[in-house]
Each structure stands twice: as C-alpha cells, then as structure tokens.
C-alpha cells in the first residue's frame, strides 16, 4: 500500500511537507475520517499514518482523487489522447517459442485539449461510481485514477453499457506519492499515463467496420489444426484472389481483425474494399445519400 502524502485539515487537503510533526498536524484521513499523525523522521519518506489502529487502504487513493478533482476544477481543461479504432491482430508466426501480437490502428482524431465547466467526485452514474466525472454542457467524460489497481471487468462492463467515454490516468508507478505540481502536469498536459478505457466514438466505428466485414471461421476445433483447416477453406474464396496460406490474410490491407484463440477467425473487408477509416466514412455517407 502506498504511503499517504496528503491529508485533510479543516476540510482542505495539505501535503505532508506543510504539516507539523506528529499529532500537532491536526489532520484526518480523507477516506475514513480518523486522526492522523505526521511522520517526518529520517528513516523513510515523510508520510501520514493513522494515530490508532492500522492504516486504512483507501486513504492514499481517496486523497489523490480529491487532489485531482481540485486541480481539474481549477484548470477547467485537460489534454486527452488521440481516438483510434484498434483491431486486435495475433501474429501468425512464432519466434523463440513466443507469439508476437500486433495491432492494426486507424486514427479518428488526434490528441487535443477539451474544456469543461463542472467536475464531480465519486458520484453515481448509471449504476456505478466513477472516480471523477467532468461535464461540458450536456456531455460527460469519466476519469479513472489508477493507484493500486485499475478498472475491473464488472466496472468496465458498466462503463460500456453507459455509453460514456472513460479515460484512465495511471499513477500506479508513483507509489511514494506525488507532488501537486507534478500531478497537475500529468493530469492536465501529459499523455504518457493516459489511456482510453472506453471511447464511444471508437466503439461506434469499430462495430460499423466489423459489420461490413465477412467473418470467416474454420469448421474445426481450435489450435494448429484449426488454423490449417481455416486457411484451406479460403481456397478460391478470397476477394483479392490471394493464395490460401497463413500470411495471405494477415498481411492483407483488408484484414481488419484476425485471431486464433479460443476460436480461429478473420474479419475480411475485401468484398467491400474498405481498408481505412476514410473509406469507411465514405461508405457510410454513400449509404445515407442512397437512403434519402
């Protein structure tokens, strides 16, 4: 469990460097409200600890959430990573007994700053509680601060079901605590520790793209035999008239997604000849024009 570098005094967060030694600090835990002692000895990093009993595990994380909210409320903008459609592609070869994964990326937008007018901390949204929610007009973005653990599968499913884009800021590497000015830099301007957990726009285009593909799966059990059966089943069926071999699909520009476990499959967009987001958007525009 990381040390607690921030505590509450008179309802406001203070850093350990600004606190008096021992119980004179007059601080309480941001998570449980218990009295804290400021430990400022020479043996280890200065930190807060509970005066009675064991330290609660949520103290450091709650303090960081509160500090992040304070920074966001003050700055009213944040730089978010570029939005892209990611299709998982398992490499069709082994090297040194290991499979090398690869990703096919199609960018929708570049990294940018977004402005907002309201920030809420740990308030329930559609049946779950995000760390932070920021609002710009009627739009919402969720921000998860990763300290000891990231978003679990249950929460991720709820985020996806909500249809609200969510960003994670990974601070797990700062176990010794982080100064406010450094947190501000990482939270507001830096992209190195930010990742999209879920992006509504990317999910829409990925589903639309895969929906225009032919999904081909082998009629046999998973594994090496299934891969051979799958490629054998391609003979004479490839829209690009490629030979049926392991590399033929993987390196084709119309191969949008490919994998082998637990069931071999490939999403091929060769019939519709769509190999980029630009071509996908053009196809959608043409479909809308025809429907008028």
* Tokens 């402005």 belong to residue: 115
Q: Give the pTM.
A: 0.78
> Domain extents for the chain?
1-57, 77-81+110-198, 212-291
CA distances from residue 263 to 58, 188, 217, 229 in whole angstroms, order as listed: 41, 42, 8, 12
Give 155's Cβ-side CA count (13 Å radius). 16
The neighbour count for residue 185, using CB atoms within 10 Å, is 13
- Residue 257's DSSP bridge partners are 267
Chain-centre distance for alpha carbon 4: 25
pLDDT tens for the chain, 292 residues: list them.
677 889 999 989 989 989 999 999 999 999 899 999 999 988 888 889 999 877 788 888 888 888 898 999 999 999 999 998 866 665 555 445 554 455 667 788 899 999 999 999 888 888 899 999 999 988 999 999 888 778 889 999 999 999 999 999 998 887 556 888 999 999 999 999 999 999 999 999 999 999 999 887 765 554 555 555 555 555 556 766 665 554 567 778 888 887 766 677 788 888 899 988 899 999 999 999 998 7
Res 38: pLDDT: 93
Res 234: pLDDT: 57
> pLDDT digit string (tens) for 38-63?
999 888 888 899 998 777 888 888 88
SS3 at position 156 = helix
- Residue 50's DSSP bridge partners are 36
């Amino acid at each position: 469990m990381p040390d607690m570098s921030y505590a509450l005094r008179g309802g406001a967060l203070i850093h350990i460097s600004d606190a008096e030694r021992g119980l004179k600090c007059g601080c309480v835990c941001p998570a449980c409200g218990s009295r804290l002692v400021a430990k400022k000895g020479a043996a280890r990093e200065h930190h807060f600890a509970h005066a009675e009993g064991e330290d609660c595990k949520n103290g450091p994380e709650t303090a960081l959430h509160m500090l992040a909210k304070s920074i966001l409320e003050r700055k009213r903008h944040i730089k978010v990573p570029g939005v892209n459609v990611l299709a998982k592609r398992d490499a069709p070869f082994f090297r040194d007994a290991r499979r090398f994964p690869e990703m096919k990326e199609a960018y929708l937008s570049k990294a940018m700053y977004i402005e907002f007018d309201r920030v809420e901390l740990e308030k329930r949204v559609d049946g779950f509680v995000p760390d932070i929610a920021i609002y710009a007009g009627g739009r919402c973005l969720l921000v998860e601060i990763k300290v000891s653990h990231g978003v679990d599968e249950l929460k991720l499913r709820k985020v996806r079901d909500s249809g609200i884009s969510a960003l994670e800021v990974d601070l797990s590497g700062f176990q010794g605590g982080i100064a406010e000015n450094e947190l501000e830099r990482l939270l507001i301007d830096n992209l190195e520790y930010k990742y999209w957990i879920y992006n509504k726009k990317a999910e829409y285009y990925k589903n639309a793209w895969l929906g225009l593909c032919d999904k081909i799966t082998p009629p046999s059990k998973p594994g090496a035999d299934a891969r051979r059966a799958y490629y054998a089943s391609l003979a004479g069926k490839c829209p690009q008239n490629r030979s049926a071999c392991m590399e033929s699909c993987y390196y084709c520009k119309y191969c949008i997604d490919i994998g082998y476990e637990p069931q071999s499959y490939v999403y091929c967009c060769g019939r519709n000849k769509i190999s980029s987001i630009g071509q996908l958007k053009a196809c959608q525009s043409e479909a809308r024009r025809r429907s008028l």
